[in-house]
Amino acid sequence: MRKIRLLLLSIIGFLTLIVYSNNVSAATTPYISYQTQVQNIGWQGWVSNGSTAGTTGQSLRLEAFKLELQNNGYNGSVTYRAHVQNIGWQNWQQEDTVAGTVGQGLRVEAFQINLSGDISTKFDVQYRAYVQNIGWQNWTSNGNTAGTVGQGLRVEAMQVQLVPKSSTPTNYPHPQAGGTNTYPYGYCTYGVKEMASWIGNNWGNASEWANSARKAGYVVNSTPEVGSVVVFQNGQGGANSPAGHTALVIGVNGNSITVREMNFTDGSGAGGFGKYSTRTIGNASSYQYIH
């Protein structure tokens, strides 16, 4: 009996260590969550990690937004402010407070986001705006202006992400930027198009995306960058179908990439059909990347 009790205690201790280790690992990955108040819609749900908040192609103004820093063990905070129709630049806001206006029918025309504290020495906050008559602008970061000032143009959507200091995306041209998502709901291609609206429509299965992107004038190479889209052929990166798999690169560390993807599960219970999940993958230089 004593041996059995010792064995049970050992198993419990081992499981506790696993849970603790997983918590420690999770606590080292900060990210930004954000939500938007949109004309005729109201407050949308919270999104994060470069996903689109707001609308594209519907001509609806973004009226307000809120951000939260999930700093997960890092000291610091996120601050932000909006340039609003008839008002101009508002005061800086912090952590789940409203920038913009609610119930006044005024458009957000531009915004700025910044980090402070220890987290700002290790990460950049990158963001961009989808603007009336312009579409998606280039990524900017760390307090610079996204949107326009003095042109009377509404911001319709925004994307925000945290990236390590060493990761700065190149602003490649996107010949087919924008457009309604034509990919079947719930699959990896749908998920990537939602996160990276500059991806073209009707490119076929994920395994066909690299060739389709080249034909459309996009840059395709084997160099990963934050904000690029990775294409996995069958047998690569966990893809187990001739249709392949695709994901958005949200982090680069040497020859490893961190991706956000839809319709992938490694058996841990995260992700799956119609759901997003995040993982880190090695051998990064062996895959193809769309920029």
Do 50 and 154 lie in one domain? The reply is yes
- On whether residue 202 sits in a domain, the answer given is yes
Number of domain units in the chain: 2
Do 102 and 154 lie in one domain? The reply is yes
pLDDT at 16: 41
pLDDT at 23: 37
Do 137 and 240 lie in one domain? The reply is no
Do 196 and 154 lie in one domain? The reply is no
pTM of the model: 0.57
DSSP states along 109-151 = EEEEEEEESGGGGTEEEEEEEEETTTEEPPPEETT--EE-SSS
Do 158 and 59 lie in one domain? The reply is yes
Which structural domain range is residue 95 located in? Answer: 31-164
Do 101 and 220 lie in one domain? The reply is no
Phi-psi group of 147: left, alpha or beta (phi > 0 → left; psi -120 to 50 → alpha; rest → beta): left
| 3-class DSSP assignment, residue 16 | helix
DSSP states along 226-237 = TT-EEEE-TTST
pLDDT at 168: 58
Tracing tokens 């999940």 back to the chain, one arrives at 277
Residues 6+ apart with CB under 8 A from 146: 110, 111, 112, 113, 127, 128, 129, 137, 140, 155, 158
Residue type, 50: G
Q: What is the DSSP letter of 274?
A: T
Do 104 and 151 lie in one domain? The reply is yes
pLDDT, averaged in runs of 10, over the chain (291 residues): 47 42 47 96 92 94 96 87 97 95 98 92 90 89 92 96 72 74 94 87 96 95 92 93 92 85 79 86 95 94
Do 196 and 160 lie in one domain? The reply is no
CATH code assigned at 230: 3.90.1720.10
Do 284 and 198 lie in one domain? The reply is yes
The length of the chain, given as a count of residues: 291
Do 139 and 38 lie in one domain? The reply is yes
Do 136 and 202 lie in one domain? The reply is no
